[in-house]
Amino acid sequence: MAADTIHTKETFTTTTSSTENITTQVQALDIKNPHNHHQHHHHLLHKYNTTETDEADDDDDDSCCARSPVTLGPSPSVAKEHGLARLIKNNRAWSKAIKERQPDFFEKCSQGQQPKVFWIGCSDSRVPENELLQLAPGEVFTHRNIANVVVSTDLNCLSVLQYAVEVLKVEHVVVCGHYGCGGVAAALGDHSYGLIDHWLGNIKEVKAQHQDNLDQILDQEEKCRALVEINARNSVLTVAKSPIMKAAWERGQKVEIVGLVYDIQTGLLGELGYHLKNVEDLKAQLSVDSSTLFAARDTIANTRS
């Protein structure tokens, strides 16, 4: 795989919603087999309707709330807190809206899941995978932790990976980092944060492997962005090196590992250039050294300026 594809310009855009009429037009991320679109539930995500009574009850709560395209709940940008009663009310409205569109949706969901995507992401509340991919419940199997770190000793993550690959037969394992990641930013510094230092140590090891090239980036924000990318790359490689993936590829299972990065400031996903479909792809990535990776970043930055 070419090393100069560390961060391509290709992006996936999410759909937009209108605050005024609270509507949404949902498009699926074209990461699945287009012939299986009839199995998806994107059509469930439609205009949010309330009764007159509900609207009256919501006047003091939702006057400034944009509606989330997928969850139909208040926008995360709202600066006021909502108690448990508000959360339960949101859930009731969400369930009602879906049932009105497809009465048997939850009954079908209760019978099992067949997601094609396994998402390994950050626990950051601003990176909700179903929402930014515009996929409905049942379409994304998920594991999240601080800074989307995958290490060979994390039995939690590896157990979820094994279930996703061997039982659910997912076709895409997506490792997604995000710019503005607090965990990555913390790993760049030398401060002690207590228990989490043990976890951040995994990112610090990645930083140490690329220290010389990171030191050449003077802008701290850009340095953090670079570490976000190579940290996600490291997790991609760790997944690919796992016995789980090795066994899957040996038996001919078609499952690829994809590296993505999410830009919170734009709402866009970008490819990191990693599409590992077999052991040969893994070997090619392992042969790419740090200097080559950072040279590729410089090339892309120059083409954008």
Q: Which residue in the list 7, 181, 224, 225 is annotated as catalytic?
A: 181
Q: Is the dihedral of CA 254, 258, 264, 265 positive or negative?
A: negative
Residue 122 is assigned to a ligand binding site? yes
Whether the CB-CB separation of 13 and 266 falls below 8 Å is answered with no
CA 223, 133, 271, 294: dihedral to nearest 10 degrees?
A: 10
Strands (E), the chain: 11-12, 17-18, 23-24, 117-122, 140-145, 172-178, 256-263, 268-276
Of 273, 249, 258, the closest CA to residue 175 belongs to 258
Active site residue 122: yes
Q: Which residue in the list 7, 67, 143, 178 is annotated as catalytic?
A: 178
Active site residue 126: yes
Q: Which residue in the list 126, 197, 212, 289 is annotated as catalytic?
A: 126
Active site residue 233: no
Q: Which residue in the list 65, 122, 176, 224 is annotated as catalytic?
A: 122
User: Which tokens belong to 114?
Assistant: 């067949």
Q: Which residue in the list 7, 65, 124, 210 is annotated as catalytic?
A: 124
Active site residue 178: yes
Whether the CB-CB separation of 127 and 175 falls below 8 Å is answered with no
Residue 181 is assigned to a ligand binding site? yes
Distance separating alpha carbons of residues 183 and 224, to the nearest angstrom = 10
Active site residue 124: yes
User: Which tokens belong to 290?
Assistant: 């740090």
| Active site amino acids | 122, 124, 126, 178, 181
Positions at the binding site for Zn(2+): 122, 124, 178, 181
